[in-house]
Amino acid sequence: MKQVIGIFKLVLIYFLATFLTNWISLPVGLIGMVILYLGLSVGVVSLGEIDFISNLSLKHMSFFFIPLAVGIITSLTLIDGIIIELLIIILITTVLVMGVTSKVVDLVLKGSEK
Amino acid sequence: MVYLFVIIITFIAYFISLKLKARFSISLLNPVLVSMFIIIMLLKVLRIDIQYYQSGSHIITDLLGPIIIVLAVPLYRKKELLKKNWMAITIGIITSIIVSFTTVYGFSKIFSFEKLLINSLLPKSVTTPLALESLEIIGGYPPVTILAVILTGITGALLAPLVMRLFKIESELAKGIGIGASSHAIGTSKAIEMSEEAGAASGLALGLSGIVTVIVLTILSLLK
């Protein structure tokens, strides 16, 4: 029963976030994230209520991206002629952004420990 | 009917991909990528047009909005850690945006891409709705941006463990910030798998870097 109330609260947050997009030009997911965080902070939502649904969705988040990946195949014609170049750019820049960012954070953390 | 078909075929593909991953623990067996191949193969074998699958696939992708909301949970659980290290996180987010813009711009110039194409690639590290928001400000080709965003996410999720070894990253917090800032929600799905701390940091980074990217691009376009 507790979990059902939790799911109900999440649905409510989703609708509230969707409603707020009329004024705030941010994605629904991000607005919802902020509302849920605030809800947890002030105690309107408890971790116990939503742990089942949140663990399940976090564990299987990849599932929801699958159709987007399938969609790539049909839109490949868009980048006809520059596919190789584009893939090279994406590969190199993603590795660099991820690696350099993590390294900088890692070094700052180590520096502040001393 | 098409919705039922999409759900069933996607579920089957995802189930097989999880089984494969459990059996051979190779990070190249990313569930999104493997499922994509399985679905395309299944459609070929069943002689069903890929457009048919696409026409009903929003039944699954429409749920992404609500799913992203629960990323607040790891964030909340790790709030002390994140608050304590806000300085390192801020520096990380700024770094990610500088590196992203300069490398994307630099490599695009090497391949002599035209301006609007470069614009379309600039916001590729942030989550799709925010990337499209950025594009409205600077101008570009939305479908190319969507493609680049998704390819970046898959690349990030696929290579995250390798990149962390290559750059010798020790802290889970640092891993999460790098993953979220470079490869948004798809990368974050991998960070969650790595550890709760990395997942929380990645969720935070995907939000922060997305918002800061839109702000920076707005300022840059006003300066011109």
Among the three residues B62, B87, B108, which one is the final residue of a domain in this structure? B62
The answer, for A42 touching chain B at a CB cutoff of 8 Å, is no
Residue A84: inside a domain: yes
Residues A53 and A86 in one domain: no
Q: Nearest CA to B210 among B68, B66, B59?
A: B68
Residues A42 and A83 in one domain: no
Residues B41 and B87 in one domain: no
Give the CA radius of gyration of chain B: 18
Residues B13 and B123 in one domain: no
Residue A39: inside a domain: yes
ipTM: 0.90
Cα–Cα distance, B178 to B188 (Å, whole number): 10
**In chain B, which among 80-99 make CB contacts under 8 A with chain A?**
85, 87-89, 91-92, 95-96, 99
Give the CA radius of gyration of chain A: 20
Residues A9 and A45 in one domain: yes
Residues A83 and A111 in one domain: yes
Residues B108 and B39 in one domain: no
Residues B54 and B108 in one domain: no
Among the three residues B24, B40, B62, which one is the final residue of a domain in this structure? B62
Residues B27 and B124 in one domain: no
Among the three residues B42, B62, B82, which one is the final residue of a domain in this structure? B62
B182 with A85: Cβ contact below 8 A: no
At A114 the pLDDT is 59
Residues B48 and B82 in one domain: no
Residues B21 and B40 in one domain: yes
B151 with A90: Cβ contact below 8 A: yes
At A26 the pLDDT is 79
Residues B52 and B116 in one domain: no
Residue B18: inside a domain: yes
Residues B29 and B103 in one domain: no
Residue B67: inside a domain: no
Residues A50 and A89 in one domain: no
Residues B9 and B83 in one domain: no
Residue A71: inside a domain: no
Residue B179 contacts by C-beta under 8 Å, 6 or more apart in sequence?
A98, A102, B156, B160, B187, B188, B190, B191, B198, B202, B205
Distances from the Cα of B93 to the Cαs of A9, A75, B79, B173, B209, in angstroms? 31, 31, 17, 13, 6
At A74 the pLDDT is 81
The residue of chain A with its CA nearest to that of B97 is: A97
Residues A55 and A82 in one domain: no
Residues A6 and A34 in one domain: yes
Residues A80 and A55 in one domain: no
The answer, for A45 touching chain B at a CB cutoff of 8 Å, is no
Nearest to A27 among B92, B129, B199 (CB): B129
- A86 contacts in chain B (CB < 8 Å): 121, 148, 151
List, as one string, the DSSP characters of B27-89.
TT--HHHHHHHHHHHHHHHTT--HHHHHHHTHHHHTTHHHHHHTTHHHHHHTHHHHHHTHHHH
Parent domain of A15? 1-59
A40 with B73: Cβ contact below 8 A: yes
The answer, for A20 touching chain B at a CB cutoff of 8 Å, is no
Cα–Cα distance, A66 to B8 (Å, whole number): 13
Residue B138: inside a domain: yes
Residue A75 contacts by C-beta under 8 Å, 6 or more apart in sequence?
B143, B146, B147
A8-17, B32-41, B128-137, B195-204: least confident range: B128-137
**pLDDT (tens digit, 9 = 90+) per residue, B181-191?**
999 999 999 99
Residues B55 and B76 in one domain: no
The answer, for A69 touching chain B at a CB cutoff of 8 Å, is yes
Distance from CA of B169 to the nearest CA of A (A): 6
Distance from CA of A9 to the nearest CA of B (A): 12
Residue A66: inside a domain: no
pLDDT-derived band at B224 (thresholds 50, 70, 90) equals: low
B22-31, B162-171, B184-193, B205-214: least confident range: B22-31
Residue A95: inside a domain: yes
Residues A52 and A85 in one domain: no
Cα–Cα distance, B138 to B53 (Å, whole number): 32
**pLDDT (tens digit, 9 = 90+) per residue, A27-81?**
888 899 999 999 999 999 999 999 899 889 888 888 998 998 898 888 888 788 8
Cα–Cα distance, A21 to B8 (Å, whole number): 32
Residues B93 and B198 in one domain: yes
Parent domain of B166? 72-223
Model's pTM, two decimal places? 0.89
Most confident of the following: A53-67, A96-110, B69-83: A96-110
CB pairs under 8 A between A and B: 294
B178 with A97: Cβ contact below 8 A: yes
The beta-carbon contacts of B19-26 under 8 Å, at least 24 apart in sequence, are none
On whether the CB atoms of residues A68 and B36 are closer than 8 A, the answer is no
Query: What is the domain count for chain A?
Result: 2
Report CA dihedral (B92, B97, B100, B104) to the nearest 10 degrees: -170
Cα–Cα distance, B20 to B65 (Å, whole number): 28
B155 with A91: Cβ contact below 8 A: yes
Query: What is the domain count for chain B?
Result: 2
A44 DSSP 8-state letter: S
Cα–Cα distance, B184 to B193 (Å, whole number): 15
Residues A83 and A45 in one domain: no
Residue B144 contacts by C-beta under 8 Å, 6 or more apart in sequence?
A78, A79, B117, B120, B121
Residue A14: inside a domain: yes
Interface test with B, best of A36, A94, A107, A109 (most B CBs within 10 A): A94
B152 with A90: Cβ contact below 8 A: yes
Q: Which residue has the tokens 């070094």?
A: A107
Cα–Cα distance, B93 to B110 (Å, whole number): 26
